[in-house]
Amino acid sequence: MKFENTIKKLSAFVASFFLFFLCAGMYLQIKGFIMTPDGKIVLVNPAQAQQTAENETSVPVPGEISTKVDPQVNIILPKGHILGQENAPITIYEYSSFGCFHCADFHLDTLPQLEKDFINTGKVKLVFASFPLDKKSMQAAMLSECIPQENYHAFLNTVFKNQREWGLSLRSDKILSEYASLNGITKEKALECMKDDKIAKEIVEGRQEAIDKLKIQGTPAFLIISDEGKEVIHGAPSYQALKALLEKRLKN
């Protein structure tokens, strides 16, 4: 009888232990993490940057939404496809992940206003810098590097507009290759591009440079370069806040 009670207690302990780790694993997965065999917790899902703290009726004092970069920091700038005039006095590097919802909001809603007021008027140029936070976004980032210059930004818009379609698909590579076929390359070339180690290496190195030098951890993030130096915006600002900052930099 004593032996049976011991077995029951041991079984209950084992069951509780298993249930604890099962629940912990489920919680981590919900939060976008996995636990590796060696016990490390690793982020696997795309982070969603929080909006800059403000509401529609208040605009932060220009400059407060950004963080100055130490002039001594020597960063290798991304070599992306420029949107705007080469000699524009202000350059914005948009660090973005294709699977990030806030990145899509900025690209589809805020960027058109930015183009109208600042880019098309020669005041600002924008460079898209891939900062993938998950496997599917990495596929899209790699594929974007193979798109012809004249179709590059159209491809970006297509990917962001259809974010849920390819993001929720088990065959994201197939869907992304179809987008690419509408923007200058064949599906076969697209599939090859998403397996190109050289392209992957360049994207990862650029991403790591942003993490190490600019302390960028989530997307979207923006590196702004003007006569006043370098500054970073972490998160997605409202258009009014971004406009105020740019107007101040241009005035100065």
What are the tens digits of pLDDT across the range 78-91? 888 899 999 999 99
Predicted confidence at residue 163, as pLDDT, reads 96
Superfamily of domain 67-251: Glutaredoxin (3.40.30.10)
Q: At what angle do helices 197-214 and 135-144 cross, to 10 degrees?
A: 110
Task: Answer with the residue of higher pLDDT: 62 or 159.
Answer: 159
Concatenating the DSSP letter of every residue in 208-237 gives HHHHHHH---SSSEEEEEETTEEEEEESB-
Predicted confidence at residue 62, as pLDDT, reads 44
What does the alpha-carbon distance between residue 224 and residue 95 come to, in Å, rounded to a whole number? 11
Model confidence, pTM: 0.75
**pLDDT at residue 195 greater than cutoff 60:** yes
Tell me the pLDDT tens digit for each residue of 69-127: 999 999 999 888 899 999 999 999 999 999 999 999 999 999 999 999 999 999 999 99
| 62: DSSP letter | T
Residue 246: its H or E element: helix 239-251
Q: What is the mean pLDDT of residues 174-201?
A: 94
What does the alpha-carbon distance between residue 120 and residue 94 come to, in Å, rounded to a whole number? 17
Residue 92: its H or E element: strand 90-96
Predicted confidence at residue 21, as pLDDT, reads 41
**pLDDT at residue 205 greater than cutoff 60:** yes
Residues 214 and 75 sit within 8 Å (Cβ to Cβ) = yes
Predicted confidence at residue 47, as pLDDT, reads 39
**pLDDT at residue 151 greater than cutoff 50:** yes
Residues 93 and 222 sit within 8 Å (Cβ to Cβ) = yes
Residues 224 and 69 sit within 8 Å (Cβ to Cβ) = no
Tell me the pLDDT tens digit for each residue of 220-235: 999 999 999 999 999 9
Predicted confidence at residue 5, as pLDDT, reads 56
User: CA angle, 218 as apex, 35 and 158 as ends, to 5°?
Assistant: 105
Side-chain half-sphere exposure of 85, counting CA atoms within 13 A: 11
Amino acid at 124: V
All CATH 3.40.30.10 domain ranges of the chain, comma separated, are 67-251
